[in-house]
Homo-oligomer: A and B are copies of this chain.
Amino acid sequence: MEVLISADGAKVLGEGLTQIDAVTPILFQRDGTLTRDGAPVPREDINPKGTWLSLDILMSKRVFDYVDLVLNTPSIEWVQSTAAGFDHPLFAELAKKGIRLTNSDAQSVAIAEYVLGSVLAEYQRTTERQLKQSEKKWEGLSVREIANTRWMIVGIGNIGNETAIRARAFGAHVIGVKRTGASAHADETIRPADMMSRLGECDVVVFTSPLNDQTRHMGNAAYFAAMKEGATFVNIGRGGLVDETALLEALDKSRPALAILDVFETEPLPTESALWAHPNVRITPHASSRSNGTPIRAQQLFLKNLAAFAKGDPLHNEVPAAQIIGAA
């Protein structure tokens, strides 16, 4: 069975790839040409059944050329993404062709560390402490504990669960919000319809939802007005979940008092956005998943799914086509 991967992706997989029986890699080289067993091969001569949208592809401009190749290679039945989101129109195009999509939970650990690290940096007054040090001032600051705070994790899935595990180890009470089922790691799981009535008790609210018609601008003026005064708001889902104009107005009323944002309605965030210089906004450039651990887990997930696909076993993290088409 042939599988399409980037030459750089194959390099990071190393030995792992050769350990799966009867897999022939078709390598997408940096110049856009293809090779099989070290020799060039024309596009019309390949028959890959699966492909990996590896990080090196997703993070480069070559992604457009790669995706064009995937869409024009009729043999492809399965695409493994390295991202969690599937709201990009490309994925709907794949789904409409009957191609199966598996998304990635490889970034969950990194994002959970980002959330805890960002909240702790504020609670622990890290910047103020460093300022005191730079002034050689021996002046202790009293800080706020995560212990006994209440968290709401909206759209609790892989990322939300990893966040819940860590927040609860600190003694936080975690309310997960989920359309169906219950989170195994939250203290309680509620439905979206019950979210507004519970917002007022939460010290930290984290958006981890996928973006779709139901979730677009979920964070609006009414939502923020229902928050607890002084609360912290974190968005590591999608920028479209939040009405940024409403958020800026809400920050003036301390509901929330602080916004930790990794995603934005327009990315890169335009320099003229008032968010950049707002004293109560912490900005990272859609980078919460970038860590030393994410690429390793992404490789492991692809190899696990490739082995499963080759054997005809169920795939991990398969996203139903209807969900993908609905999100676009």
Q: List chain A positions with a Cβ less than 8 A from chain B.
A: 109-110, 113-114, 116-118, 120-121, 123-124, 126-127, 129-130, 132-133, 136-148, 165-166, 168-171, 267-269, 271, 276-277, 282-287, 290-293
How close is A277's CB to chain B, nearest CB, in angstroms? Answer: 8
Tell which of B124, B133, B269 touches A113, judged by Cβ atoms closer than 8 Å.
B124
Which residues of B are found within 8 Å of A143, using beta-carbon distances? 110, 113-114, 290-292
A271 nearest in chain B by CB position:
B136
Q: Which of B127, B147, B283, B290 contacts A142 (CB 8 A)?
A: B290
Q: A130-B127, A136-B276 in contact; A144/B291 too (CB < 8 A)? A: yes
Q: Is the CB of B145 within 8 A of A284?
A: no
How long is the Cα–Cα vector from A169 to B168 in the complex, in angstroms?
9
Contact B109 A268 (CB under 8 A): no
CB pair A269–B110 under 8 Å, yes or no, is no
Q: Do B165 and A292 have beta carbons less than 8 Å apart?
A: no
Complex Cα gap A285–B133 (Å): 9
Contact, CB under 8 Å: A109 / B145: yes
Closest to A126 in B: B121
How distant is A259 from chain B, measured CB to nearest CB, in Å?
12
Instruction: Note all chain B residues with C-beta closer than 8 A to A118.
Output: 124, 126
